Amino acid sequence: MSVTAAKGFLASGIRCGAKTEGLDLALVRSAGHAVGAALFTQNRVQAAPVVVSRRHLSQAQPQAVVLNSGCANAATGERGELDAMATAGEAARLLELGIEEILLCSTGVIGVRLPLDKLLPGLTDAASALTETGGSDAARAIMTTDTRPKEASASTDGFSVGGMAKGAAMIHPKLATMLAVVTTDYPLEPGEPEQFLRPVVERSFNRISVDGDCSTNDTVILLANGASEIERNEANDREFERLLGEVCHELAEQIVKDAEGFTVLLEIDVRGAASEEQAVAIAARIASSPLVKAAAFGHDPNWGRVMMAAGSAPWNGGYAELDPSKVTLAFNGTRVLVDGAHIDATPAMEGPSCVIELDLGLGAGETSYLASDLSYEYVRLNAEYTT
């Protein structure tokens, strides 16, 4: 179990025909009253489910999430919003909830309307299939070009956190073309879920990159129903934050490792930056550089490409601070540059991962990033995505 690992959560995944094959409609709900929050894409082009879900969150606490694959319902105008509202309305009727208590997620091709003739009848099947063991079916139902479902859970004495996600391309903060639903039976008050979720997302889902493209649909939702009935105290709050971080980090890593055309995991550690914000900017620039990613695919320790990317990281209207004479750079533990001077060394690059460690020697700013390589298969998949 993943998204149903916490007490009091039900899920289902069924086939309604929105995709040519496989499960394509998921439903997650809390059996008891829940509080929740969601974080959304910052892309200016926002899909109808994002627009409608934002509105619903301003009106009520979320109790259920409807997720469909096969169609993004993005760039579909007013009709797209009406379709999203119709979906929420039917789910609310079936689950005996208010329409504003329903959140929506869609993933698939942009510019295509929801197939309501398939989706609305499918909701009846999804509602009747809700079960405490339905998390795995739900995780499979939200897949698009994913090759495997993404699930994670973590527990301690008294409460649990579980989650599911999808994502394989158009991955880059903030956020990415990814959907994630995380649930917990830890007791939270209205307004608190976002306080816990936002910093965790910043350190997990907002620290991954596949291709540098920010999606129109990405959404991360947290639902908390307090079904564990555990005592609320400072120590338990810290433990909840740790488990939430563990689940989100695991889901984020699964997304990168299932990236379209993935062959090499890039682990990018930047330290010694002038500030944490500048460290993030530099790590993101390295993680999204096609040249760095192509070199990783070829197992080529081309350190010049890393320096190029680090020195051109957009920051505050210009570029992040970097002094080439203070930079130390290593690939897989082998230094190739020390205080700006090249070291005649050959790093081992044959394995399934490449660890890039960059010390800027300027301050205390540091961060870590995960990224995938750029392979021939990624180009093929995206050259033929709609054809």
The catalytic site residues sit at: 177
* 203-214: b (≥16 Cβ within 10 Å) or e: ebbbbbbbbbeb
The string over 307-335, giving b where at least 16 C-beta atoms fall within 10 Å of a residue's C-beta and e elsewhere, is bebbeebebeeebbbbeeeebbbbbbebb
Q: Which residues contact 21 (CB under 8 A, 6 or more apart)?
A: none
Give the span between the Cα atoms of 372 and 172, in whole angstroms.
Answer: 11
Answer whether 341's CB lies under 8 Å from 303's CB: no
- The whole-angstrom separation of Cα 124 and Cα 129 is 9
Give the per-residue SS3 of the chain.
CCCCCCCCEEEEEECCCCCCCCCCEEEEEECCCCEEEEEECCCCCCCHHHHHHHHHHCCCCCCEEEEEECECCCCCHHHHHHHHHHHHHHHHHHHCCCHHHEEEEEECCCCCCCCHHHHHHHHHHHHHCCECCCHHHHHHHCCCCCCCCEEEEEEECCEEEEEEEECCCCCCCCCCCCEEEEEECCCCCCCHHHHHHHHHHHHCHHHEECCCCCCCCCEEEEEECCCCCCCCCHHHHHHHHHHHHHHHHHHHHHHHHCCCCCCCEEEEEEEEECCHHHHHHHHHHHHHCHHHHHHHHCCCCCHHHHHHHHCCCEECCEECCCCHHHCEEEECCEEEEECCEECCCCCCCCCCEEEEEEECCCCCEEEEEEEECCCHHHHHHHHCCCC
Output the six-digit token pair for 240.
Answer: 């909840």
